[in-house]
Structure 1
Amino acid sequence: MAHFDFPLHELQTYQPRQTRQPDFEAFWRDTLAQSAAHPLDIHLDELDLPYTGARIARLSYAGWDGANIVGTYAVPAAPGPFPAVAIFHGYGSARPDPFLLLAWVSQGYAVLAVDVRGQSGESSDTTSYPGGHVPGYLTLGIHDPTRYYYRGVYIDALRAVAVLAALPDVDAGRIMITGASQGGGITLAVAALSAMYPRLQQAGIHVQAAVAEVPFLCHFERAVSLVDTEPYREIARYCRRSGASVAQVFRTLSYFDCLNMADVIACPTLVTVGLMDIICPPSTIFAVYNHIQVTKAITIDSYGEHDTFPGVPEARMRWFQQHIS
């Protein structure tokens, strides 16, 4: 794929108008309050795996609307507490194999990788979505922000931070978050929501740094109009086939668009972007990045598509090491 979006010098200053609804903050305050009213109900079952230097467990906790959220928790087999990382995966996928978490453990981190509700992993999705949808997740409940799929996804992920903070091996004041594609978008949303959630801060729980690789869930309106690739194509297909109110569709999406959350992010944030990415177009990512008001950096791969670019794993580790207080 050749370059198809704005030239780089325009991307670096691209800052479209946010589309926040008047009740955006009230919507999320109410959502966060509802979440806080329910216990985490954490369960750990240690796994018998042939890896030395680490303790690894299957972990589950209560997510939004009664969903059972499942992940893998790995921690150094040594006295803690340790800084910790929450990892969120890409669209339609599942958490990584436990072996892939050992790099974090080897560097002295506890790590929790969770399955997104209702996708390919073990996490359930108990929410009932009104109306129809096209195959995939982007249009589940899309006519009502209170019933939209990603409301649960974002809260499940925020609760993963609270779960880490509740574990005895974790230093609650040193928690980082990361993910790629859908996981990158979730990372940005959690970075914002954690800053809006007084209960986390009152308990001494802080997201100290975030790394969002090629993030999805950014600047929906431009993404849908610019590319005809999955998953954003689900939205266009739904609008085309269902006779849906396009205005209502994008109104719902506005509550979950990282474009409208970017200026709320309060932790140092590293973002990556590929200028040949036709899944998550460069302008959608720069739109969000350029609204972030705190310490930030962006890794640009001029020929990068939708992938982890060379050097990014090392850059992510350096970013976290730099911002652990």
Structure 2
Amino acid sequence: MPHTDLPLAELRDCRGDVTEPDDFDPFWEQSLDQARQLAGEVTTAAAATPLTSLTVDDVTFGGFGGEPVRAWVIRSSDRPAPTVVEFVGYGGGRGNPAEHLRWASAGFTHVVMDVRGQGSAWGSGGDTPDPHGSAAAFPGFMTRGIEDPATYYYRRLIVDAVRLLDQLGTLPGVDPDRIAVTGVSQGGGIALAAAALSPTVRAVLPDVPFLCHFRRSVELATTTPYNEVARYLAVHRDRTDAVFRTLSYVDAVSFARRITVPALFSVGLMDDVVLPSTVFAAFNALAATDRRIEVYGFNGHDGGGVAHWQIQVDWLTERI
């Protein structure tokens, strides 16, 4: 597979022309205030699992609209420990706890949030429905409610992520003063949003993050999920302005401008799902001074895999 974007020297200076709406901050403040007023209940129960060397709790918390969202808490000790909150990639769900052993095995408490309405494209499934309908949409999640930021699917998912962070202090094994967020692809984009919107986050580690620089991504990416938007606009030719206005409220480049905590990114130069220039656009937008990006020149959307996770562990151990 060839490199899919600009030469690396140009990528390192790539910032992108991402315009954010004037009411970006009020929009998210109001969205979170509404969700917090409908807090929902946090419940924790021992998970049914054959794992014996780790403790797994099955958690339900109130997300967008106070609606129940599921999560796993996986830990090696009852004592509060530095905590990694993971958001899952496109089409996946929280799956089976046995799929998430690395962080807890390295001494962290690992919280894995389910993805509302997703969980049936790969992995072992999800357990959180999305009870909201949508107007006409292209198959997938990218265009659900896309003509209005108030009804857009990713508004709900981002609010879920921040509401989980709001309630971490009630969960077993969590040190609320040492919280990091991470995720691959969609999960990386959600991690950037969460790091911008939640004051509890102390570090962010997005891998090959999705949801960055939407205009460039939709116009140039040739694969799903971005081409769901392109296919939608090929039918709804008169709705381009409304669609990109909605996407401007969830663009991770705008969230990155508000992130001041340490950040460790990864990018694959042969990635044809998330273009490297869009990752660099978010990375270069960071307000954080403690930032680093690992470049994998001959990898695609897999990024650095386990090798990158080992870098993450060392980097994060130094910080939290």
TM-score (norm 1): 0.92
Contact 2:192–2:206 (CA<8 Å) still a contact in 1?
yes
1:203 matched residue in structure 2: none
**Alpha-carbon distance, 1:40 to partner:** 4.3
Pick one of 145, 148, 160 that aligns with 1:144.
148
- 2-structure distance, mates of 1:40, 1:303: 45
The residue aligned with 1:49 is 49
- Say whether the 8 Å CA contact 1:67–1:124 is kept in structure 2: no
> What is the CA deviation profile of residues 18-70 of structure 1, one whole-angstrom value per residue up to 9, with x for unaligned ones?
31111111111111211221224111121243323322121111110243211
1:107 alignment counterpart: 106
Structure 1 residue 185 and structure 2 residue 179: aligned?
Answer: no
C-alpha distance in 1 between matches for 2:99 and 2:271: 25
- Kindly indicate whether residue 287 of structure 2 is the aligned counterpart of residue 293 of structure 1: yes
Q: Which amino acid aligns with 1:306?
A: H
Corresponding position of 1:33: 33
RMSD, matched Cα? 1.5
User: Are 2:313 and 1:305 aligned?
Assistant: no
Whichever residue aligns with residue 181 of structure 2, its letter is I
- CA deviation digits over 1:260-316, x for unaligned, max 9? 111101211111001110000000110111011211100101111000415101011
Report the Cα distance in structure 2 between the residues aligned to 1:119 and 1:242, rounded to whole angstroms: 25
Is the partner of 1:208 in helix, strand or coil?
strand
Cα distance in 2, alignment partners of residues 50 and 16 from structure 1: 48
Provide structure 2 residue ranges, at least 5 long, that are not aligned to the other structure.
Answer: 120-125
TM-score (norm 2): 0.93
Q: CA deviation at 1:96?
A: 4.2
1:304 partner letter: N
Give unpaired runs (5+ residues) of structure 1.
196-205
Q: What pairs with 1:1-325 in structure 2 (closer than 5 Å)?
A: 1-76=1-76, 78-120=77-119, 121-129=126-134, 131-195=135-199, 206-294=200-288, 295-310=290-305, 311-324=307-320
What whole-Å deviation, never above 9, does each CA across 1:83-130 have from its counterpart, x for those lacking one?
21111111011124312333322222211111111001111112233x
1: CA distance, partners of 2:184 / 2:239? 31
Per-residue deviation at 1:145? 0.4
Identity, % of aligned positions: 38
Give the deviation of 1:160 after TM superposition.
1.7
**Structure 1 stretches of at least 4 aligned residues deviating more than 4 Å after TM superposition:** none
SS in 2 for 1:224: helix
Code of the residue aligned with 1:190 in structure 2: it is: A
- What is the aligned partner in structure 2 of residue 200 from structure 1? none
| Distance in 1 of aligned mates of 2:20 and 2:241 | 13
The number of residues matched between the two structures is 312
Tell whether the 8 Å contact from 1:65 to 1:127 is kept in structure 2 after alignment.
Answer: no
Give 1:166 shift: 2.0
Deviations 1:125-175 (Å, cap 9, x if unpaired)? 12233x210000111111110111000000101112123222243211111
